[in-house]
Structure 1
């Protein structure tokens, strides 16, 4: 179980904090507005009213005990002030929501660990879902490499993984298959698919795109 602090409980921050809680993690939610903190006090592990632009207030939260501190504040100046104070306090892992290119640029100069653009990232996911409806989810690994979760369509019943590999014409890896609660690790090329199997596949984006038409 991880420990996470989310500073700013607007729509993005609260959704992240609540989902982390559902996943079994310990979550500290921080916001300057009493009403907002009260709304999530019973759903998060801890919920605290604090001014995140005040270094002393942040210091009292003991944020160095958390695996990641997520700054989810919407306004540019308070967000940057909060990040500067967190860096001064020696917080090692800081993720920040950016609201503009200027915000992103300044955050990159401050050396935060990850900059998040929620609307852009969600837009990419929606576009991928529209273009490849058989893909349940995907994780970018960097350098053009992705892991994708794919539903096996009815028309693929009886087809082998080897035949799918041949159609891809590029290197992809079948990591595992989920079938009615069973998990089959590293299936070989002779493995025969059944409708409603779930494939976990890794490969370069161009290879996965080449495979996609065979999965519809």
Structure 2
């Protein structure tokens, strides 16, 4: 379990905070709006009313002890940038930032933060992938052009082997795991036989994963 601080309790900040709490972490929520802070006071580990652009105010939050600080301030780019600069001065190392525009991203990228997030763009990509490949339930980019995708096995693949399904990828796609109800199968061999409703995790490049589409539809 780790502790995180989320600055800016709009829809994105709240969603990220609630998921962190669900995953077993503790979260301090920070917002300058007292009404918002009071609304979520029972959901967070703690909620603090604070002007996040004020370095002296942030100094009172003991942010160094947070695993990471997520700056989730919305459309107010100036407040976001001032908050980041204050966090840098306070010695916070792991700063994640929600960027609201390309200009915002460009400026933030010069400040040496750990990660810049574009929620709308990233969700747009996920929706497009889901529309384009309906057999893919979810996917995750793991860097260097590699992805992990979650595939729900349909009835037409029932009884087929893992090797049959992966043959089109010519060894460029690896099976990470198969989940069957309460069972989990690792270290998979090519003679593993699918059943309808199995959940398959595959890893590979986008091109190599795409080569499997004819076998999956």
Q: TM-score, normalised by structure 1?
A: 0.98
Q: Bigger CA drift: 48-57 or 131-140?
A: 131-140
- Say yes or no: does 1:171 pair with 2:169: no
Aligned to 1:11: 11
Unpaired runs of 5+ in structure 1?
none
Q: Distance in 1 between matches of 2:168 and 2:126?
A: 25
Structure 2 residue runs of 5 or longer lacking an equivalent are none
Q: How do 1:63-142 and structure 2 match up within 5 A?
A: 63-74=63-74, 75-142=76-143
Once the two structures are TM-superposed, the CA of residue 18 in structure 1 deviates from its matched residue by 1.2
Worse-matched range after superposition: 164-173 or 197-206: 164-173
**SS where residue 212 of structure 2 aligns?**
helix
Residue 212 of structure 1: CA displacement? 2.0
Aligned-pair CA distance for 1:98: 0.4
- Looking at structure 2, the residues matched to 154 and 82 of structure 1 have their Cα atoms a distance apart, in angstroms, of 52
1:213 to partner: Cα distance: 2.4
Q: How does 1:37-76 map to 2 (within 5 A)?
A: 37-74=37-74, 75-76=76-77
Q: Deviation of residue 168 (structure 1)?
A: 2.4
Q: How many residues align?
A: 216
- Trace 1:129-208 onto structure 2 (pairs within 5 A): 129-208=130-209
Aligned to 1:56, what secondary structure does the other structure show? helix
Residue of structure 2 in register with 1:22 after alignment: 22
Shift of 1:170: 4.8
1:143 CA drift (Å) = 1.4
Structure 1 contact 149–198 (Cα < 8 Å) conserved: yes
In structure 2, distance between residues paired with 1:180 and 1:13: 33
CA drift at 1:200: 1.0
Q: Distance in 1 between matches of 2:58 and 2:214?
A: 51
Structure-1 separation of matches of 2:3 and 2:163:
42
| Alpha-carbon distance between aligned partners in 1 of 2:50 and 2:214, rounded to the nearest angstrom | 52
More deviation in 76-85 or 20-29?
20-29
State TM-score, norm by structure 2: 0.97
The farther-off stretch of 189-198 and 14-23 is 14-23
